[in-house]
Structure 1
Amino acid sequence: MLQRLFSFKGGVKPQTNKSPSVREAIGFAPLPACLYVPLHQSIGGAANPLVRPGEKVGKGQLIGGADGWMSSAVHAPTSGRVLAVEEHVATHPSGLTTLSVVIEPDGCDEWAERQPIDYRSQPPERVREALRDAGVVGLGGAVFPSHAKLAPAKSVVVQDLVINGAECEPFMTCDDMLMRERAEETVRGIAIFRELLAAQRVLIGIEDNKPEAIAAMRNAVAHLGLDYAVVAVPTRYPAGGAKQLIRVLTGKEVPASRRSTELGVQCFNVATVYTAYRALEFGEPVISRIVTLTGNVAHPRNWDVRIGTPLHDFVALGEPQRDTNAFLMGGPMMGFALPSLDAPVVKATNCIIAGSAGLFPPNPPEMPCIRCGACADVCPHELQPFELYWFSRARIFGKTQEYHIFDCIECGCCSYVCPSHIPLVQYFRFAKSEIWAREREKKAADAAKARFELRNAREEREKEEKAERLAKAAAAKAAERKTVVAQPNSDAAGTPRALEPQDTPPATGESADSAGALDAEALKKATIQAAMERARAQRAGQAARNTDRLTPEQAKEIAAVDARRARQASSASAPPAPPERSPDSAGSGD
Structure 2
Amino acid sequence: MNQNRAKKGVHPYEGKDLSKDSSIAVIPAAEVMVYPLAQHIGAPAKAVVSPKDRVLKGQMIAEADGFISSPIYSAVSGTVKAIEKRLVVNGEKTECIVIENDGAEETAEGYGKARSLDSLSGKEIIDVITKAGIVGLGGAGFPTGVKLSPKNPQDIDTLIINGAECEPYLTADYRLMLEKSDEILLGAKAVLKLFEKAKVVIGIEDNKPDVIRLFEEKTAAEEKISVEALKTKYPQGGERQLIYTVTGRKINSKMLPADKGCLVINAATCFAIYEAVYENKPLIHRIMTVTGEAANAPCNLDVPLGMSFEQVLAAAGGAGEDAVKYIAGGPMMGTAMATLDVPVVKASSAILVFSQDDVAVLSESACIHCGRCVGACPSNLIPQMLAKAVKAENYEEFERLGGMECMECGCCTYGCPAKIPLTQMFKLGKAKVREMRIVG
TM-score range for the pair, normalised by the shorter chain length: over 0.9
- Residue 151 of structure 1 and its aligned partner are, at CA, apart by 1.5
Aligned counterpart, 2:256: 259
- 1:4 and 1:377 mapped to 2: Cα distance? 19
- Residue 227 of structure 1 and its aligned partner are, at CA, apart by 4.1
Aligned counterpart, 2:228: 231
Within 5 Å, give how 1:302-317 maps onto structure 2: 302-316=300-314, 317=316
Within 5 Å, give how 1:41-60 maps onto structure 2: 41-60=39-58
Uncovered stretches (5+) of structure 2, i.e. residues with no partner: none
Aligned counterpart, 2:344: 345
- 2:80 and 2:213 mapped to 1: Cα distance? 44
1:243-266: CA deviations, max 9, x gaps? 111111112122332222111111
- Residue 220 of structure 1 and its aligned partner are, at CA, apart by 3.0
SS in 1 for 2:435: helix
- Residue 376 of structure 1 and its aligned partner are, at CA, apart by 0.8
Aligned counterpart, 1:557: none
SS in 2 for 1:27: strand
Aligned counterpart, 1:420: 418
- 2:95 and 2:146 mapped to 1: Cα distance? 24
Deviating more after overlay: 10-19 vs 315-324: 315-324
- 2:121 and 2:278 mapped to 1: Cα distance? 15
Aligned counterpart, 1:436: 434
1:221-272: CA deviations, max 9, x gaps? 24x7554111211101111111111111112122332222111111110111
Aligned counterpart, 1:107: 103
- Residue 339 of structure 1 and its aligned partner are, at CA, apart by 2.5
SS in 2 for 1:196: coil
Aligned counterpart, 1:394: 392
Within 5 Å, give how 1:364-403 maps onto structure 2: 364-403=362-401
SS in 2 for 1:59: coil
The answer to whether residue 314 in structure 2 is matched with residue 318 in structure 1 is: no
8 A contact 1:9–1:382 mirrored in 2: no
Aligned counterpart, 1:467: none
- Residue 197 of structure 1 and its aligned partner are, at CA, apart by 2.3
- Which one of 129, 139, 142 corresponds to residue 140 of structure 2? 142
Higher relative contact order (CA 8 A, sep 6+): 2
Identity of aligned residues (%): 36
SS in 1 for 2:5: coil
- Residue 432 of structure 1 and its aligned partner are, at CA, apart by 1.9
8 A contact 2:200–2:226 mirrored in 1: yes
SS in 2 for 1:147: helix
Aligned Cα root-mean-square deviation (Å) = 1.7
- Residue 55 of structure 1 and its aligned partner are, at CA, apart by 1.0
SS in 1 for 2:19: helix
1:451-486: CA deviations, max 9, x gaps? xxxxxxxxxxxxxxxxxxxxxxxxxxxxxxxxxxxx
- Residue 335 of structure 1 and its aligned partner are, at CA, apart by 1.0
Q: In structure 1, what residue type is equivalent to 2:382?
A: Q
Uncovered stretches (5+) of structure 1, i.e. residues with no partner: 444-590
SS in 2 for 1:348: coil
Larger relative helix fraction: 1
1:80-123: CA deviations, max 9, x gaps? 1110111111121xx11111111111112121112655543333
SS in 2 for 1:324: coil
Within 5 Å, give how 1:54-73 maps onto structure 2: 54-73=52-71
Q: In structure 1, what residue type is equivalent to 2:328?
A: M
SS in 1 for 2:390: helix
1:118-177: CA deviations, max 9, x gaps? 543333223212211100111000011111111143385111111100011100011000
Q: In structure 2, what residue type is equivalent to 1:249?
A: V
- 1:361 and 1:85 mapped to 2: Cα distance? 36
Within 5 Å, give how 1:3-82 maps onto structure 2: 7-82=5-80
8 A contact 1:165–1:176 mirrored in 2: yes
1:29-59: CA deviations, max 9, x gaps? 2221210011111111111101111111110
Aligned counterpart, 2:190: 192
Q: In structure 2, what residue type is equivalent to 1:179?
A: M
Deviating more after overlay: 269-278 vs 117-126: 117-126
SS in 1 for 2:84: strand
- Residue 309 of structure 1 and its aligned partner are, at CA, apart by 0.3
Within 5 Å, give how 1:114-513 maps onto structure 2: 114=110, 118-154=116-152, 157-222=155-220, 225=222, 227-295=224-292, 296-316=294-314, 317-357=316-356, 360=358, 362-440=360-438, 442=439
Residue 399 and residue 423 in structure 1: after superposition, are their counterparts in 2 closer, same or farther (change >3 A)? same
Deviating more after overlay: 67-76 vs 192-201: 192-201
SS in 2 for 1:35: strand
Q: In structure 2, what residue type is equivalent to 1:301?
A: C
8 A contact 1:65–1:73 mirrored in 2: yes
- 2:125 and 2:198 mapped to 1: Cα distance? 20
Residue 437 and residue 254 in structure 1: after superposition, are their counterparts in 2 closer, same or farther (change >3 A)? closer
- 1:103 and 1:155 mapped to 2: Cα distance? 40
Computing the radius of gyration from Cα coordinates, the structure with the larger value is 1
- 1:266 and 1:155 mapped to 2: Cα distance? 10
Larger relative strand fraction: 2
- Residue 184 of structure 1 and its aligned partner are, at CA, apart by 0.2
- Residue 69 of structure 1 and its aligned partner are, at CA, apart by 2.0
- TM-score, normalised to structure 1's length? 0.71
Q: In structure 2, what residue type is equivalent to 1:346?
A: V
Q: In structure 2, what residue type is equivalent to 1:33?
A: E
- 1:258 and 1:435 mapped to 2: Cα distance? 17
Q: In structure 1, what residue type is equivalent to 2:158?
A: D
- Residue 363 of structure 1 and its aligned partner are, at CA, apart by 3.6
8 A contact 2:154–2:197 mirrored in 1: no
8 A contact 1:60–1:78 mirrored in 2: yes
- 2:20 and 2:374 mapped to 1: Cα distance? 34
Residue 281 and residue 344 in structure 1: after superposition, are their counterparts in 2 closer, same or farther (change >3 A)? same
Aligned counterpart, 1:483: none
SS in 1 for 2:255: coil
- 1:299 and 1:215 mapped to 2: Cα distance? 28
SS in 1 for 2:133: coil
8 A contact 1:6–1:247 mirrored in 2: no
- 1:356 and 1:63 mapped to 2: Cα distance? 39
SS in 2 for 1:40: coil
SS in 1 for 2:194: helix
Deviating more after overlay: 211-220 vs 244-253: 211-220
Q: In structure 1, what residue type is equivalent to 2:366?
A: P
8 A contact 1:6–1:249 mirrored in 2: no
- 2:287 and 2:298 mapped to 1: Cα distance? 13
Aligned counterpart, 2:87: 89
- 2:4 and 2:77 mapped to 1: Cα distance? 49
Q: In structure 2, what residue type is equivalent to 1:267?
A: V
- Residue 410 of structure 1 and its aligned partner are, at CA, apart by 0.7
- Residue 9 of structure 1 and its aligned partner are, at CA, apart by 4.2
1:188-224: CA deviations, max 9, x gaps? 00001111122432111100111222222223324x7
